[in-house]
Amino acid sequence: MVSIFNFADRYLITGLIGPIKQEFGLGDAMMGLLMGPAFIVLYVVLGVPFARLADRYSRVVIIAGGCVLWSAATVATGMATGQTSLLVARATVGIGEAAFVAPAYSLLSDYFKPERRGIAFAILGLATYFGQIIGQAGGPALAAYQDWRFAFHLLGVLGIVLGVLTAMIVRDPGQIAPRGERSQSTIAMTALVALLARNASFVLMMFAFGLGALSGVAFGYWGPELLTRGYGLDPVAAKTAFAVNFGLAGLVGMLCFGAISDRMAKYSMAWPVRLSAFAMGSATCAILAATWADSFALAKLLAIPSGLLGGGWSVGIYATLQYILPARFRATATALFLAVTTLLAYFVGPWATGLLSEAFGNDAHSLRVALTIIIPIGLIATLFAWFASRRIELDRALIHKHA
């Protein structure tokens, strides 16, 4: 539930591009800035310190506190009076969300054995699509009911309540040592960075994930706007259709990938990454075809393979990443991994697409051209994932030996 709100707040602004642009007189470049860099910079900068704390103290408290903070910032987004206040609010959302992902995956890794983490991570990953549906379909619906600000206010208030409930209900199985004692099990940051930089599997998976997510996030953020412009549809109808068609297919793909990944992991933990490579390359081709679909009906049809193939590939990489990392610095190493992948995906992807679209004309055709430049980067990511799959056991042994 916390993860659903994490992504709903993130995607909400993408479902309300039209009314926000209209009220403040913004262009695609500025909207790309709000969706990408404004949110991501502090998310990346603070992700590692939050994860460092998660390796020493309660991951649940950190996750719950982040949820309350980003939800309060979502409320503030609905109170914005201009570009500056929008930027500040989105940056604060990034601060709160920086406390979630690495601690959450570290927490789940304590609950599930390696051969069961695929389905566990897949279920957590469903939040991406539930959040997308809530943000891109629910947001415009709420805006049509009242206004775009109401959508931010409602999700923000509900998120604050959820954060408080999380702190009260969720148990951290690793939180058994007295305060401060767990810090003795950590590793110096400089030594950790050097260790990870020498590990080929970690580096290859990091760039595979980052470039693959860059391709997918660019389409996920700008796809609803493309449907609106490209087919002359009502914004609410277009964005709801995008969220539901691509989102539901992604939900199914995520669960299927998690189940298949766990089955193949019994033979070798290299298989989840191999499956990720296959799914990533196939999904890249599918969403590129959807970008140039000559009708709304064809775009919805292409949503099925796009979602099924693109919905789960991140699970394979996450599961293998947690497998190769020692428990004592798992959250911090995951945060370092996410720092690079998030910069590529959420900083570069939406902003570069917006800049290119505005440069080519700020219309439907220019947005298609921009996405056609960005989306094929996913094919490069496919190669990185495949190369990583060939070194998993060797590099796991190396990182545990020198940890």
> Tokens 């931010």 label which residue?
152
The CATH number of whichever domain residue 25 belongs to comes to: 1.20.1250.20
Q: DSSP code of 25?
A: T
200-253 residue pLDDT tens: 999 999 999 999 999 998 998 888 889 888 888 887 788 778 878 888 888 888
pLDDT at 42 over 70: yes
CB atoms within 10 A of CB 187: 17
Q: Compute the distance between CA of residue 399 and CA of residue 325 in angstroms, rounded to an integer.
A: 7
Q: Which of 103, 73, 83, 81 is nearest to 12 (CA)?
A: 73
Q: What is the mean pLDDT of the chain?
A: 88
Domain that holds residue 116: 2-402
Distances (CA, A) of 286 to 49, 86, 165, 278: 37, 34, 40, 12
Give the number of domains in the chain.
Answer: 1
Sign of CA dihedral 51, 54, 55, 60: negative
Please answer whether residues 375 and 285 qualify as being in contact, where contact means their C-beta atoms are separated by less than 8 angstroms. no
Mean local confidence (pLDDT), 295-312? 89
> Tokens 């947690």 label which residue?
322
65-107 residue pLDDT tens: 999 999 999 999 999 988 889 889 989 998 999 899 889 988 8
Q: Where are the alpha helices (DSSP H) in 187-234?
A: 189-197, 200-231
Tokens (6 digits) for 331: 């959250």
pLDDT at residue number 353:
93
Taking each helix axis as running N to C, give the angle between helix 148-169 and helix 59-77, from 0 to 180 degrees, rounded to the nearest 10. Answer: 170
pLDDT above 90 coverage of the chain, percent: 43
Residue 37 — φ and ψ, nearest 5°?
-55, -40
